[in-house]
Amino acid sequence: MLNEARLHMIERKFIEDHIKSLEVEEYLAKVLEKADYSHTDIQITPLSTRLIVHVGRPGIAIGRAGKNIEMITNVLSEKYAVKNPQLDIQSIESPDLDATYVAHQISSAIERYVKPNRITNIYLRNIMNAGAYGAEIQISGKISGGRGRTDKKQVGYIKKSGDFAIGNVDRGFSTAMMKPGVLGIKVMIMKNLPESMLIEKRIKAAIVDEAKEKADKKAAKLKTEEDAAAKEDVNAVSVKKDEKEVKEEKEVKKETDKKTTKTDKKEDKEVEKKAAAKKEKEIKTVKEEKVEKKAKEAKNEETAEKKEKEKVAETSEKKKTTKKEVKRTAVKKEKNKE
């Protein structure tokens, strides 16, 4: 009987402690709603109870000079009989992997008249990009129209039952107050995979890796063989090309030599012609110069003869005039004497 009574007392205390922790969490969720409250981890020690509160915006939760923390600690100690409460407010490490935070964000977006379909797609994408294995968002209520319905969207893999689902699937709930009525938002995020699935994945990955290695080795062998064959072909082709090139070069040299000899002969003939033409020009110029000199000399002689003749004529005329004057003077003298 005593053992049964003891067990009953332990059960009662266990239930009371859990009820108290739920009440504390509900109170913190109401007070820290604007700070994007996620969840609280309670650590009970002999001297105090440590409350690790995970919040999206720690600054709003702390308040100016820690006023919010003082108020919350007083309420917890007086109303909920928490022994020496110590609040430790921390920011959420990965917000997109926190179900309650995502649920609150979706509800606030819906209250701002964002379409539920659009916001669920955005957050499902963000959750999967953050590294989750699966996620599900369920919105129920009067989404559009007069009748209520539930819209469910799932991405990836999610365990919904069993021990693994209890421990490794994060669940969150929030409500959005709309004019037609209240909308309920449920979020489920699976962060880790079960060990059985991980083992299967590892085995599959190992098989795939082995197959890839074998395929790579075969491809490498084929490449080496193809490269060797290609090199041999290239060498044979290069030898043939070299022979052809040598023949072509010889033919080109012969043609160039012929052309050069022809051009040299033509050039020599042209040079000889030019030299002969120069000599002829020089001879002509010499002859012309001699003729010009002779003509000039003849002209000079003619001019000299003309000048001499003119001088003789002038002297004869002067003599005649002098004779006439002498006669005149003689005649005058005779007249004067008479």
**Do 54 and 89 belong together in one domain?**
yes
* Among 193, 218, 243, residue at a domain's last position: 193
* Residue corresponding to tokens 């969840």: 39
In a domain, 134, yes or no: yes
Q: How far apart are CA 26 and CA 42, in angstroms?
A: 13
Res 150: pLDDT: 93
Per-residue model confidence (pLDDT) at position 185: 95
CA distance 210 to 233: 34
Tell me: do 105 and 143 sit in the same domain: yes
Cα 208 from Cα 205, distance rounded (Å): 5
Task: Establish if 126 belongs to a structural domain.
Answer: yes
Instruction: Please check whether residues 57 and 131 belong to one and the same domain.
Output: no
Domain membership of residue 295 (yes or no) is no
Q: Which residues of the chain have pLDDT under 70?
A: 1-11, 13-14, 17, 194-201, 233-242, 259-266, 268, 337-338
Residue 169's CATH number? 3.30.1140.32
Say if residue 161 is in the same domain as residue 88.
no
The pLDDT assigned to 186 comes to: 95
Of the candidates 58, 93, 128, which is a domain's last residue? 93
Beta strand 182-190 with 134-141 is: antiparallel
For residue 29, being part of any structural domain is answered with yes
Q: Phi then psi for 114, rounded to 5 degrees?
A: -85, 140
| Domain count across the chain | 2
Question: Which among 65, 93, 121 is the end of a domain?
Answer: 93
Q: Give the residue numbers spanning the domain of 9.
A: 2-93
Task: Please return the burial class of 320, using the count of CB atoms within 10 Å of its CB with bins 0-12, 13-18 and 19+.
Answer: exposed
104 and 88, same structural domain? no
Which pLDDT value is given to residue 259?
A: 67
**13 located within any domain:** yes
203 falls within a domain: no
Q: Give the CATH number of the domain where residue 38 resides.
A: 3.30.300.20
Q: Name the pTM for this structure.
A: 0.53
Tell me, yes or no, whether 238 lies in a domain: no
Task: Please enumerate in sequence order all residues whose Cβ is within 8 A of that of 168, keeping only pairs 6 or more positions apart, or say none.
Answer: 159, 190, 191, 192, 194
